[in-house]
Amino acid sequence: MKVLISDNLGEAGIKMFQEEGFEVDVNMGLSPDELKGIIGNYDALIIRSATKVTEDLLESASCLKVIGRAGIGLDNVDIPAASKRGIVVMNTPGGNVITTAEHTIALILSLTRNIPLGTSSLKDGRWEKKNLQGKELYNKVLGVIGFGKVGSIVADRARGLKMQVIVYDPFVTPECIEKAGFEHVSLDELYKKADYITVHVPKLKETTGMLNKEAFDKMKDGVMIINCARGGIVKEEDLYEAMKSGKVAGAALDVFEVEPPGKSSLLGMDRLVCTPHLGASTKEAQTNVAVAVASQIIDYLKNGTIINAVNIPSVTGELMTKLGPFLALAERIGCLMAQLSSWPLKEVVIDYTGDFMGLDLSPVSRAVIKGLLTPVVKDDVNFVNAIILAKERGIRVTETTHSESKDYLNLITVSTISPEATNTVAGTLFGKKEPRVVKIDNFRVEMVPQGHLVLINN
**Which candidate in 48, 277, 332, 366 is catalytic?**
277
Q: Are 26 and 46 in contact (CB under 8 A)?
A: no
Type of residue at 246: G
Contacts of 82 (CB under 8 A, 6+ apart): 53, 58, 67, 88, 89, 311, 384
**Which candidate in 230, 236, 257, 331 is catalytic?**
230
- 325 cis-preceded (ω within 30 degrees of 0): no
Q: Are 315 and 353 in contact (CB under 8 A)?
A: no
Nearest to 85 by CA among 110, 100, 65, 106: 65
Residue ranges of E strands in 93-215: 141-145, 164-168, 183-184, 196-199
Helix, strand, coil percentages, rounded to 5, for the chain = 35, 20, 40
Q: Are 187 and 214 in contact (CB under 8 A)?
A: no
- The Cα–Cα gap between 313 and 292 comes to 18
**Which candidate in 34, 259, 284, 420 is catalytic?**
259
Catalytic residue check, 230: yes
Residue 319 CB coordination number (10 Å)? 17
Residue 124 is given by DSSP the state T
- The Cα–Cα gap between 118 and 271 comes to 12
**Active site members:** 230, 259, 277
